[in-house]
Amino acid sequence: MDKTPLQQLADFGQSVWLDNIRRGDITSGEMQRMIDWGVVGVTANPTIFEKAISGSTDYDAGIDELVRQGKSADDIYKILIVEDVSNAADIFRQVYDRTDGLDGYISIEVAPSLAHDTEGTIKEALEFSDLTKRPNIFIKVPATAEGIPAIEELLYRGINVNITLIFSVEVHREVMEAYLKALERRVAEGKPVDKIASVASFFVSRVDTKADKALEDLLKKEQDPEKQAIIKGLLGTTAINNSKLAYEEFQRVFSGERWEKLAAKGARVQRPLWASTSTKNPNYRDVIYVEELIGPDTVNTMPPQTIIAFRDHGVAARTIDKDLDLAKRQLAQLEELGISLDQITHELTVEGVQSFTKSFDTLAECIGSKRETLMSGLSERYAASLGGLEPQVQEGLRRIGGNQVASKIWEKDPSIWKQDDEAKKTIKNRLGWLRVVSLMQDRADDLKGFAKEVQEAGYKSVVLLGMGGSSLAPEVLNRVFGSKEGYPRFFMLDSTDPGTITAIERRIDPADSLFIVATKSGGTTETISFYRHFREKVNVSKGPKAGENFVAITDPGSSLETLAKEEGFRRTFLNMADIGGRYSALSYFGMVPAALLGMDIDKLLDRAETMTEACAPCVNAEDNPGVWLGTIMGEAYKAGRDKVTIITTPELDSFGLWAEQLIAESTGKEGKGLVPVTGEPLGRPSAYGRDRLFVYLRVDGSANGDYEHALEKLQNAGQPVVRLKMKDIYDLGAEFFRWEMATAVAGHVMGIDPFDEPNVQESKDNTSRLLGVYKEKGKLPEGDAILEANSLALYGDGEALSRAGSEGTLESALRAFFSTVRPGDYVATLAYIPSTGEHEELLQDARLAIRDTLRVATTFGYGPRFLHSTGQLHKGGPNRGVYIQVTCDPQRDLDIPGQTFSFGTLIRAQALGDLQSLQQHGRRAIRLHIRGDHAEGVEHIREAIRAAVAPLGI
């Protein structure tokens, strides 16, 4: 069998180590699988350790036993980490023996609080060495001024040391000197040196994060095109160039007479270990810090996702000493621009110690919290009462575990969804959401800095101009958190309805508003139309400086990126191209608005990371919160319970907006689909058929007596109920990831590709065609109404509907329409009207009348928002939908700059195109058009629906 790119690294003298350790990897066989892939060592990561403890059940049994023994949180930490490191060392002993002690090492870290305590470091390092009692253990010690003498002393005493937090060539030189001195002291005393091992962990990508920020700041101010080109050419080069110089110094130190004397005694070189090699900038190749630093006598320690990525598409070739002159020249250019590499590396060392200290503090808090939770017995964060569905779900979990579905998802193996090559290629380019949390954590400081910049610039409002999945997560965050005091008010515009646009205009001053233009493709008609409208408004007051009121979030290379450059946007955030809109909550599309709301994005992303670790491949399917939920949803679908009814406590009522589009667009295709039901108040058990799955999401401590009582009745009636409990509202970060993973798993169970949207384009094409007709004839082809009554016009097709309409009453026509509803159907209200509380209350009342009378699920959505989300389910899912489209004449229309049609014409064309698409798929659909006052028209619709369904009650 041909070697993978990961295995080929050994041919160039580079060892691959895993930057991750957790109990689940050890016990599940995942660590052995990594060895089979070519991984030959492990470094412990306290952040991952903390997430594994807080977010999974990996350590519950161990902690529970230690709690019973009366152990403190500090004791528990040391016992757990020593157990993990020792067990991992035993697994890797085979590598250690096979390589004669070159590899097979596991690293354990002294507390970062000892970073400036030489004697304390030595004492704890000796304690860990004594506790582990294995030859293939490294003790990690930071390369601080106080750490370096401790490093020398430990090496002299025969302790293997992994020196960490090295950012500069100068510090690397000091570390190598400490190693040489330790060996020389041993030789002078006649002690052996052939079994002493050490690596120097030289940190890579973080250097680029800080250097690129300085370069980007310069680029904003620089007007000279020649200097702009130089600055752009330096982006993404500093970290690799710095590392290449460190390797050059390594070659110099470990050669010549001094080293040869030690080598003659059996001493081995202190290998450079490239650390922090995951790509932090989403616009750079995800394996750049591996591919550019390959060479003899080196180690690259990678997180699991980088290992998977390099194994899949990395290129192995000797690069470490390639273009060394260019590296030196570019570093010189950096200094000439006034950016000090010494200053950057010094700041990174200080920040590194602080960051590691914070990770350890969080770890201690986590263990303490887990200890208290286990002592109190309140460890359940999710549970389910599935009734008759339970055996099917348990069998599904066994099957998913046996087929290693979670591992294959993390490995980005598309075969678990589709087998044909074209589909597999597309799926692989849609899985970036799996690694987005760590990428955004590394951009958090930049996002917070941008939010501060916006505050200081005096903006009073932020308006998000978007459409579909990429705009709904910010809407949820805004409704749940609101704008923090001192931060701009937040508005979201994802409707082409002129009244909705006007309502926002009345609440803002365009001159002191920041507009976020958010579109993945860069060319979404609605979003660009919004931009043109508000750009014209800002031009009036700011003229040539109007661009500074606009921010773009888009994919690299999109037309919006070009537009933003040409029209002087304040900032452009280039998102990861391998993330679809509905999976983008934790990417720039969600996190830029979150920062501008004044949210603690570190905390939000931290919770998301905890869930990420809880959903890791090493976690058993039944204990993996994302896999567990996804399996329940998928098996419920197979059992005919395809209506996922999401119930939340009031503070979370907007969560359904986001989850709805994720589930519907992901699963509604190939005649299959889960129908998300959100915003439907809980009813009596008699209101529901046998097609429901209830998922209840609540914040711990929130008032929920009424919900619990109602859900208890549903359980007793045989309805399956899933309960998810959030610690607080910042757990939304965790829920975003959980539901993304669950939806991907549900897609596997259902046998569909959850990442494509084959029918969304249909309505867009119909809209374009209808606008073409409008441009040619000056009007849209609306067709003839079946009847008109009370300023309402009814449109539709079907003989029964037309016959009932000929009787002359709206109620009789609607009754004929609703008589087609069968058990297992759902009735969807598609409202292309202004979003107001009054309209929603009236239509919700009509919705409940349908549910309680016909005992079918009901959904409600505003157009054209849903065209980019649930619209996929409507056309591509099973023919169980019954659609009531509501449209209106605009009370006051708005022109779209640069277009021959208005917003009123656009939304009418979208509605007509949507209706035509539904009818082309044989869906049962009608349109109710309001010709007069909107509120009166909606009131008439409510009354007509109530009257129509009343005689049809089951």
C-beta of residue 100 within 8 angstroms of C-beta of residue 131:
no
Query: What single-letter DSSP state applies at residue 270?
Result: -
Q: How far apart are CA 455 and CA 486, in angstroms?
A: 8
Phi-psi region of 492 (alpha: psi -120 to 50; beta: other; left: phi over 0): beta
C-beta of residue 690 within 8 angstroms of C-beta of residue 717:
no
* Closest-CA residue to 496 (of 919, 772, 899, 22): 899
* Closest-CA residue to 593 (of 506, 493, 463): 463
Those residues with Cβ within 8 angstroms of residue 442's Cβ, 6 or more apart along the chain or in another chain? 205, 206, 209, 280, 281
CA dihedral (86, 90, 92, 98) in degrees, to 10, reads 140
Find the catalytic residue in 140, 412, 643, 875: 140
861 DSSP β-pair partners = 830
140 is catalytic: yes
Query: What single-letter DSSP state applies at residue 679?
Result: S
Tokens 């036993």, located at residue: 65
Determine phi and psi for 110, rounding to 5 degrees.
-70, 155
**What single-letter amino acid sits at 428?**
K
Q: How far apart are CA 429 and CA 538, in angstroms?
A: 37
Those residues with Cβ within 8 angstroms of residue 229's Cβ, 6 or more apart along the chain or in another chain? none
CA distances 328 to 184, 292, 319, Å, are 32, 15, 15
**What single-letter amino acid sits at 672?**
K
Q: How far apart are CA 4 and CA 314, in angstroms?
A: 9
* Closest-CA residue to 148 (of 105, 106, 118): 118
Alpha helices in 235-340 (DSSP H): 238-253, 256-264, 288-291, 304-313, 324-336
Query: In this structure, how many other beta carbons lie within 10 angstroms of the beta carbon of residue 772?
Result: 11
Could you tell me where the beta strands, DSSP code E, fall in 151-257? 161-166, 198-203
**Which H or E run includes 862?**
strand 857-862
Q: Quote helix, strand, coil % in the chain, to nearest 5.
A: 55, 15, 30
C-beta of residue 292 within 8 angstroms of C-beta of residue 326:
no
Q: How far apart are CA 935 and CA 886, in angstroms?
A: 12
CA distances 293 to 81, 87, 245, 288, 326, Å, are 31, 31, 11, 9, 15
Phi-psi region of 255 (alpha: psi -120 to 50; beta: other; left: phi over 0): beta
698 DSSP β-pair partners = 725
SS3 9: helix
**Which H or E run includes 660?**
helix 655-667
Report the alpha-carbon angle 458-465-931, nearest 5. Answer: 120
CB neighbour class for 864 (10 Å; exposed up to 12, middle 13-18, buried from 19): buried
CA distances 483 to 441, 487, 504, 625, 914, Å, are 21, 6, 16, 30, 35
Give the strand pairing for 513-518 and 461-465.
Answer: parallel
Q: How far apart are CA 662 and CA 755, in angstroms?
A: 10
Active-site residue numbers? Answer: 140
